[in-house]
Structure 1
């Protein structure tokens, strides 16, 4: 049994979610002493392949390098994976936008079931995944000969990015599928950590009342803590911040060391995206707010008084 991890990368480096996916593969490998291979599909992607080779627990890196793979178009990545799929018992991808785009196509072409968003490995064919917005955990058994899986990054501690010494092998690529083309990409440049990989997140909700208040109140605290900024869906829908900030079932799933929820009531959809955070601090004037049910520390009070006090204490 050999396990394949499809790496998410930018052709120069490996995205952090790949480390969590490798960790899941390594846990799976402990049941049968399997090898873990990583596929880097891109263009001029030797840097990413070398980075993947240094990940602890990886025994081989497969580099598929071609112009049609430069932008990660799902159709071309899927076609490349299918050329080697029969060599593997498990194919894993991060449960990110990239992985969710590629994995279902692979499963469909292989005519096998896919299991999404696993958070635990019970055996080589049995996995756990959250359902009902994380309020229940389903244990799912896959009987297909090749198991296609996406991995929720918050369910697994990342593998070490250093310490491995895997070989890098170049493999053949398929021709451009031709049914999609890359047009453009708009990348948001942040002066603070990325939301999904930040160790500290400060999130704001509808209680902030406006986008101006969101910036005025939360940014000083985030700057002091070197934290990422997040938001509830209510804050995003109200136009306080862009959609990129949204944490929750329909946004980004995060599990930082510290999550500070400011003016967030704690609707079930939001809790599904952050309740695995190591320490949760909630600030809300409603003492019955659901957010307090998952908080390690809670402050019942006016956020417009509490946050400036926080910032002053950190000075």
Structure 2
């Protein structure tokens, strides 16, 4: 009998219990799924970093922690966690949602749609945008989400440059890496999409210096992580016209405080962390598949590199 502890909060339990049972039953597994299993009996923990569980020492039989979140930066440094940690990579739900969000906002900036939606003077002022092949887009971060978004944008006809810390190969995308690669990727970015993880190496990757490398008037879309951007530097770049607009879905503090200057700035669109919400039914299938793999002795999917932080 497999003992599975659900540690993601009572509201999530109400949403996940039935889909998880259905997915686990589909694999023919013999299991007990609960929110209150005795620590010494637990084989797998279905986990959300917001759950409050921080000490994994009592879980002496634990085989793996399966996160319901894509972001795991708050747990990777936990020294009591000595078993494999898998993050949520859900192509059916989370990835598809991110691709739709990114494609929608890139097209919005590319087409200049805001000028027509917000037109207080009722001016007849047609501005014909360039076609997609004339609008270079850069995606920083070529993990599962970044690669999917880069390929989707390339499929729409945009010339897409992708940058990552280590070499990657994504069909239809010019892939760069390293410090010099970052400089080139930024220089080509009329629209810049941020999909990097939050690590010490990526914190404030968009700062006064890197923002200055963008083409003047570039648009930024950040559905990745809030700490990727130096907030004060971005405000200064918007005020000077170096950055034309920033669409931000993630922030250092969430919900974004009412007094934060992003709310009132005419060059900022705030969305409330909605770009890639985990979809319960498909996420449950991802978790169940990893438990099946664990029981079959197969490698787990989407394992976190604890040293890299993602």
Normalising by structure 2, what TM-score? 0.31
Greater relative CO (CA pairs within 8 A, separation 6+)? 2
Greater per-residue strand proportion: 1
Normalising by structure 1, what TM-score? 0.30
